[in-house]
Structure 1
Amino acid sequence: MVEKVVYFIEGDGIGPEVWAAGRPVLDAAVAKAYGGEKKLVWKELLAGEKALRETGENLPQATLDALKGAELAMKGPLGTPVGKGFRSLNVTLRQMFDLYACIRPIKYFPGIESPVKHPERVDMVVFRENTEDVYAGIEWAAGTPEARRIVAFLRDEMGAKLDDLAAIGIKPMTEKGCKRLARRAVKFAIDQKRTSVTLVHKGNIMKYTEGGFRAWGYEMAASEFGQFTMTEAEAAEGATKPVVIKDRIADAMFQEALIRPEKYSVIATTNLNGDYISDALAAQVGGLGLAPGVNMSDTLAFFEATHGTAPTIAGKDMANPGSLILSGAMLLEHLGWFEAAQLVHGAVAAAIGARTVTVDLASQIEGAKAVGCKQFGEILQANL
């Protein structure tokens, strides 16, 4: 028997509910696909509210020690206070374990009503840089001694025009960080026979950070994958190579995603832009309830539900476990267990086709029957 250890964190809010509904679906898919020859071995780690209750810490050392040697992990949503309190556990985990690539495939499931006319034209995979940009968390509150020192330095020694009481945040971006994210996106496009990689940036305004991302992306593609890639200008001149490297300014890309989504296949982008565009694209195909994702280093793949903790519905059996389950399907694909992953995708598609879905999806499907989180998981198991 082939066994793969998957460390998991339940998460806060609706986390325990989506895990209880979702994990059995993944186990059942593996069992049906391989008849007991393959198995996922789940080992729980503590983080967030459950960890605080049981250990007095939001992120215990035992969890960090286990993840240091891990290859596979999954988690539910973890809460983060806005404007106060502890730093985001999600960001902390990404930076501690160098999970530099957030990868989110976004594709339409037939039957879901969308706010756009042609959601079926959306079939993109977003690669978001995960460790740099403003998410590095280097900032100081307005009026603090630290912020005043930074303001004084920038104003007096660098010639910047700044108010004494400005809050200050730093946006670090490196050639190494940008190139490795773009490299992963281009390699994915080549391996998966995707037609293009679009570098999404605000280099027209932030010329040395976002503009650097664009320049380094083009440079890396040409030097490392030149036999497979070409620019749009080269394509217009008649070049024929498998992957076109494009770039779009971030605000223009939002328009493109709405009116010409079929022109874009793989998106490589910076941290903040990626946060925005991946959620916006998910909305075009039905919302975050069915949006899977993974954060990856060169050694650890950390799959996660991409929605929040939804505290207002926690404990009410109203949550949608779809994001977690489809992230589990991504994990199965990552392992090469494609048969089990296809069973999961088929089960979700069948439930949507039968219009028997959780309340968030039922609001988007005319004539749908709303079921609870637990029952939706049971329906998916039956659909396998």
Structure 2
Amino acid sequence: MAQKTVYYIEGDGIGSEVWSAGRPVLNAAVEKAYGKENALDWQELLAGQKAFDETGEYLPQATMDALKGAELAMKGPLQTPVGKGFRSLNVTIRQTFDLYACIRPIKYFKGIESPVKRPDLVDMVIFRENTEDVYAGIEYASGTPEAKRLIAFLRDELGANVDMAAGVGIKPMTEHGCKRLAKRAIDFAIDQGRDSVTLVHKGNIMKHTEGAFRAWGYELAEQEYAGKVVREGEGDGPVIIKDRIADAMFQECIMRPEQYSVVATTNLNGDYISDALAAQVGGLGLAPGVNMGDKLAFFEPTHGTAPTIAGKDMANPGSLILSGAMMLEHIGWHEAAALIHASVEKAVAEKKVTVDLAGQIPGATQVGCAEFGEILLANL
């Protein structure tokens, strides 16, 4: 029997509701696919308001210690403490465990209204670098002593033409950071049988940051994936690697989405593209995600705590459930993941959905969080 330990954090706001509705679906999908051969061993960790109520800390050391040895974790949405403590619990976890790849699959579920004509052609997985670029950005406000000192250095020492009244920012990007993100995307494409990886950048303007991301991505592909990855226009291969300038990619996402499968991109570009694609498929309530490092993969829904509907049985557990399906795919339990996707597709097709999706599906029957979970269980 293969048993996988999954550490989970319930989360704040609607966290307890989506977990109550969602975890039984994940367990049932595994049992349906494998009988008693495979199972998930859930181990709860405390974080957020629940942790504070029980321990006086929002992110207890015991939780961090457990995660140090973990390979799989899931969490509900976490509220940022107001006025003191961590700037963001999510960012603290991400930085502490070097979860450098933010991965978001974007796929259409039939029946949801979309602002575009062919949302069904969108089936992409975005790999967004999660630690560099603007996330590690350094900024100085216009007119401050720091800005003036930096501008003076740029002008006097490097000959740069910068207005002394400018606000200035630095976006650091390293070969190590760019290559490990590209490697994660290429490995995923090979493992999942996807046909292409697209490097998205603004290298025509920012040649030594965005342009370097492109160059390092191609270099990695040539050095480590000979025979497995072929550059666009240089022959056929299991995986084609190509690149697109960021602004052109937005047009491509609308006009020719079927030509793109896995996208590897920088932090800021990834932020834009992920949300734009999610809007195209109209499925914001069904948007899963994971923050992943070399050892720990931390899966989570992309929505927030939604305090205005907490405790009202109105939340959509779909994002958490589909994040769980991502986790099952990550560990190679593809049959169980496929059952979950089919279950969600059937629920949407039958128009029995939570309030957030009901507004996007004409003639839908609105159900509560718990009932939606029960519907997904029955669909399995």
- 1:4-83 to structure 2, matched below 5 A, reads 4-80=4-80
1:195 Cα deviation after fit:
1.9
Q: Structure 2: 5+ residue runs without aligned partners?
A: none
Asked if the contact 2:185/2:264 (under 8 Å) is kept, the reply is yes
User: What is the CA–CA distance in structure 1 between the aligned matches of 2:266 and 2:321, rounded to whole Å?
Assistant: 26
Unmatched 5+ stretches in structure 1: none
TM-score when normalising by structure 2? 0.92
More off after superposition, 262-271 vs 37-46 = 37-46
Q: Secondary structure at the match of 1:294?
A: strand
Corresponding residue number in structure 1 for 2:337 = 341
Residue 225 of structure 2 is matched in structure 1 by 225
What secondary structure is seen at the aligned counterpart in 2 of 1:324?
helix
Partner of 1:161: 162
Q: Aligned AA for 1:100? A: Y
Q: Is the 8 A contact 1:77 1:307 kept in 2?
A: yes
Q: CA deviation at 1:3?
A: 2.1
Which of the numbers 345, 353, 358 marks the counterpart of 1:362? 358
Q: Is structure 2 residue 268 aligned with structure 1 residue 263?
A: no
AA in 1 matched with 2:196: S
| 1:285 paired to 2:286 | no
Is the Cα contact below 8 Å between 2:86 and 2:92 reproduced in 1?
no
Two-structure CA RMSD over aligned residues (Å) = 2.4
Q: How far apart are residue 136 of structure 1 and its match?
A: 2.3
Structure 1 residue 176, shift from structure 2 partner: 0.8
Q: What's the offset of the Cα at 1:91?
A: 2.3
Aligned-partner residue type, residue 218 of structure 2:
Y
- Secondary structure, aligned partner of 1:128: strand
User: Residues 122-172 of structure 1, C-alpha deviation per residue, up to 9 Å, x if partnerless?
Assistant: 111111111111112645566766556545544554445255583x54311
- How far is the alpha carbon of 1:2 from its aligned partner? 3.0
1:304 and 2:305 matched:
no
Show CA shifts across 1:343-362 (max 9, x none).
21121111111110011111
Question: Could you tell me which residue of structure 2 aligns to residue 213 of structure 1?
Answer: 213
SS in 2 for 1:44: strand
Aligned to 2:107: 107
Which residue in 2 is equivalent to 1:128? Answer: 128
Work out whether residues 33 and 340 of structure 1, in 8 Å CA contact, stay in contact via their aligned partners in 2. Answer: yes
Aligned residues: 379
Q: In the TM superposition, what is the alpha-carbon distance from 1:84 to its structure 2 partner?
A: 9.9
Counterparts of 1:147 and 1:85, CA distance in 2: 28
Asked whether the 8 Å contact 2:148–2:164 carries over to 1, the reply is: no
SS for the counterpart of 1:87 is coil
Tell me the TM-score normalised to structure 1 length: 0.91
Q: Distance in 1 between matches of 2:87 and 2:165?
A: 26
Closer, same or farther: CA 312–144 of 1 in aligned 2, 3 Å: farther
The one-letter code matched in structure 2 to 1:52 is F
Contact map agreement 1:155 1:162 (CA 8 A) in 2: no
Match of 1:240 in 2: 236
Residues 204 and 360 (structure 1 numbering): CA distance in 2 closer, same or farther, change over 3 Å? same
* Percent identity (aligned): 75
Structure 2 SS opposite 1:323: helix
